[in-house]
A and B are shown apart, each in its own frame.
Chain A
Amino acid sequence: MTQLGKKLWELSTSYGTACLLLIFLFLLTLFGTLEQVDHGLYAVQKKYFESFFVVHEFAGVPLPLPGGVLCMGLLSWNLIAGGLIRIRKSRATAGVIVVHIGMLVMFAAGLVKLTASDDGYLRLYEDESSEEYVSYYLWEVAVFDADSKGEVSEFLISDEQLKLAEDDSLRLSHGLIPFELELRHFRENARPTRESSPLPLAGDWRLLELEREQEAEANIAGVYATARSATGGEQTAILWGLAESPWVVEFGDRRWGVVLRHKRYRMPFSIHLDEFTKLEHPGTDIPSEFSSEVTQRKGSEALPLLIRMNEPLRDEGLVLFQSSWGPSNAQPGDRLFSVFSVVRNPSDHWPLYSCIIIGVGLLIAFTEKLIKYVKAQNSQRAKEAGV
């Protein structure tokens, strides 16, 4: 190892670096907590915890800080290199090493969740079924043959692709459609307007970009779309997340539907809501229980199940949680809908494993210290008594 490499190794694995990173993480967490009051969770999460660098305004003075991703990345390195490799291996450090292993398991769980999981919701009225759940805040554009019968094949443009259309135009072709689709001026929160706006007109309308909402799911996206046929025809429209019906593109005697909607995920089973129950503590409006009696269908198999608060349905790598209900202004006897949060997370149980490992490690480490402390106290007392 070169001299520089050795120095870097020592620096990056030192207690000093660990302390510095802990201070940065502490500050990020503190500022990210306080700032939620004004900017909401989603924006704060992006700014402080899912970033490499962040500039925080502290009493009007800009304070540059490493972002959450950078901090946690460096801390992981410090943990592996300093807390597992470089650390002196002895009985006294056994507990600490176990704790560090547990921390790594937790970080790994976070990483897997961040990169390999998805989540959304499924809203069902009583007697409704679905085998899809919908993302809270990711968008997609779907193009389909408007006149097809039965199962409809769709050409999907993902949220990542749509983000590319924020500043540039995105031109897409697909075997399913005999035209080129151009998307541009994608805006995460916008509404169509006839009033003035920096964005161009499409017919009588144009998009008006709005401030991002504090809660990401409250944003309604919009994008300009142009369909160009190889034969020279061209049609333009604004796609908006709350549009009541798809934009219909006609070339010749064929029609295609184009829709901007929240991203949909398919489940390997369907859920039918048989009955939703909402109970309140007697004489109050404090909810005591929400539960949904559902039927899970997998092929020809139908399984009656109960999903309730703290008791989700886990199957096929998916977890369905009782989340909320509606309509909020429902009167007695009205038909209710139940909302389930749906999560696919390969590292679902890893936090539990990490908790057990960390707990055991801390117990080992601190029991060791406690025994030493008691022994020291006893010898100290004996010494003082002797004096």
Chain B
Amino acid sequence: MKRLIVLCLVLVATLTTSVQAQEEASSFAWTEETLELASTLPVQHGGRVKPLSTYAGFQLLRMNGKRTVKTITGERIGPTAWILDCLFRPDAARTYECFRIQNDEVVTAMGVRGEEKRKSDYYSYDDLEDGLNALFGLADAALEVPGDQRSLVQTQALLLASNIRDFRRLIGVMDFGRESLPLLGSPGLTTIFAENHRSGVLVLLEKAPELRELWTGLEGLPANEQQAEQNAATELSTMIDAVLEPTQYTMTLFPPPADAAEDSEWLGIGDAVMLAFADQEAGLECIPAIAALEDLVGLRGNPVGFEQRFAELHEEIVSRAAARGEYDYVPLEVRFYRGDFFYRALLCYLVSFLLCCLSWMLPASKWVTRGIWATLLGGTGLVILGIVLRCIIRERPPVSTLYETILFITAVGVIVAIAIEAMNRQRIAVVVATVLGAGGMFLSMKYELKEAATAGDTMPSLVAVLDTNFWLATHVTTVTMGYAAGLLASLLAHVWLFGQMFGIKLEAKSSYKALTRMIYGVVCFGLLFSVVGTILGGIWANYSWGRFWGWDPKENGALLICLWQLLILHGRMGGYTRDFGLCVLSVVLGVVVVFSWWGVNLLGVGLHSYGFTDGVASILKTTYGVEALVVLMAGAWKLWSPRARLSA
């Protein structure tokens, strides 16, 4: 046992030693310290305070499907280095291949398809720039088409256009510190700014009192001078709007004062500049940070100087966020994403599965067995650790979004399978655990991409009605445990059916019998949680909206699971179904769970229409079709195979 634990720990340690490997394989411009500071810089986006690295990671994930990007030199950099480049070295960022084009028809239509590029490939902003007008035209035309009738090219054009716009804003955020403002366009402005040799808006803020005085005293001037001053003011104002415009649509950087209301909005650079110019306290407080940002623009060619100034900016923003209690979990979130627990868990499960395959050839090998357990427990430990960290960061129970159901269901399913294996040691549940674990982690990674494209985060702010940790912890947790059990029972039933249909001999003579006992037990376990979870959902609805049951699709989905599980148990108790029937019904139970978990979300009706499931329809239809085929095959086998009569 000790050896097993040591093996587990070594495995997990090996997988996590490269914690910063990908993220901080830095671009040449940034020191390690700068990257570390930048990754933990708190920003507000999507209703919550998060690390800059999280924001950057999801931006990158949305644009190119990964959290890394290739520079022009072929080096791979992480999200923090990428966003620093976007902000402070936009000319370099434009050359990075950060736009994933899944179908070259879009770039062909834009007239910018690179000859050396593959059908699905990565492009830089510079690669696409000449075709942007055509792209925006395509996107505008696609908007006229109803969502469900858009072609693949139209959908891709819309997505790419949105990504391009976001990228442009991102590389334009620091324009306010780069661009020279027309400060000498009138006699009044010349008098105020005669000595100025700097670009950026800070000089404007320094001279704000004089400017206010100038512009409020225009009435006393002769008409032609007044007109000249007004024209110069309009020109200046237009330019300021232009350089601040990109800051309106990205993350906000400046925390409000410590005594502001708990849910106060952070200030973006543009808002802060405007408030400071208007002599408002909230804006004036941000001037040191604005000055630091302007200085950083000038220091981009001096990594050491940049690091020092960035440290001051970091200190300023972190201290203000910490004073409001909004920095507590930022470093933890950085560690969470660096840990990449779910990807590493996927690797563990895959290795575990391969070892299971090896164990069929080497059934007596203790090392293979230990390897299976080490990787399986290691992977499960990583999933649990990831879920726990998410709970701490969000201050929520484990499940409050569709994405989190995937993680939780996988964890519960695998744990139950491990418990079964521990009880009967048939080496069946352990294989199922690896398949379920790997499948769940793969699905979570795929769904994370969808969340990046829609919510821009997998830890989104919850709508008011979901803001109740009690019901999230009780109803949602129990009902998803029911889902997990349903899926596990279905997987075990597949093993029984395929094993019997293809005449696979299991290790022990009694294995098939043991397998049906497992399935029955898991269905019982599932029924407990499905029924209690479903009723708790009704009680939540009753206590929150005054109705216990509303025949809403999501409620009905949960009821369908309960009814099917009851049917399985009553059929078994009444003697109507034996082993074969139990397995076929359990396969169908898996379909019912999938319908309830994902299918009802596609109906687009009801109160529970949550989670972005566009694009899932084809996968669901394929699942239903495959399972229907499994049931038909099993039926045919039962009817016509002599072995079926013997084994049943």
Interface positions of A (Cβ within 8 A of B) = 14-16, 18-19, 22-23, 25-26, 29-30, 32-34, 36-37, 40-41, 44-45, 49, 106, 109-110, 113, 119, 279-284, 286-290, 309-310, 312, 319, 321, 323, 341-343, 345, 348, 351-352, 354-355, 358-359, 362-363, 365-366, 369-370, 373-374, 376-377, 380-381, 384
Contact = CB atoms under 8 A, between A and B. Distances in A.
Contacts of A26: 560, 563-564, 567
B382 to A, nearest CB: 28
Contact of A281 (B461, B536, B604): B461
A282 B603 contact: no
A29 B563 contact: yes
A22 B566 CA distance: 8
Given A281-B461, A284-B47, A119 B547 contact: yes
A110 B548 contact: yes
B545 A355 contact: no
Contacts, number: 173
Given A37-B604, A310-B471, A374-B423, A362 B527 contact: yes
Given A16-B574, A33-B603, A119 B546 contact: yes
A41 B252 contact: no
Given A33-B556, A41-B550, A355-B535, A19 B571 contact: yes
B265 interface: yes
B137 to A, nearest CB: 29
Given A16-B576, A36-B603, A41-B551, A281 B468 contact: no
Interface residues of B, number: 68
Contact of A377 (B423, B545, B576, B605): B423
Nearest to A387: B509
Contact of B44 (A282, A373, A381): A282
Interface in B522-561: 524-525, 527-528, 531-532, 535-536, 538-539, 542-553, 556-557, 559-560
A342 B460 CA distance: 31
B424 interface: yes
B552 A289 contact: no
Nearest to A23: B567
B424 A33 contact: no
19 contacts: A15-B576, A19-B574, A26-B563, A29-B559, A32-B556, A33-B603, A36-B551, A110-B549, A113-B548, A282-B265, A283-B47, A287-B464, A288-B464, A310-B543, A321-B546, A358-B532, A366-B525, A374-B423, A381-B425
Nearest to A354: B535
Contacts of A341: 545-546
Given A33-B600, A343-B546, A366 B524 contact: yes
B576 A19 contact: yes
Contacts of A309: 464-465, 467, 544
A358 B556 contact: no
A329 B577 CA distance: 58
A282 B535 contact: no
B47 A281 contact: yes
A377 B423 CA distance: 7
A133 to B, nearest CB: 11
A373 B424 CA distance: 9
A-B pairs, 7 with minimum CB distance: A15-B574, A281-B47, A343-B546, A282-B265, A281-B461, A355-B535, A284-B47
Contacts of A23: 567
Contacts of B576: 15-16, 19
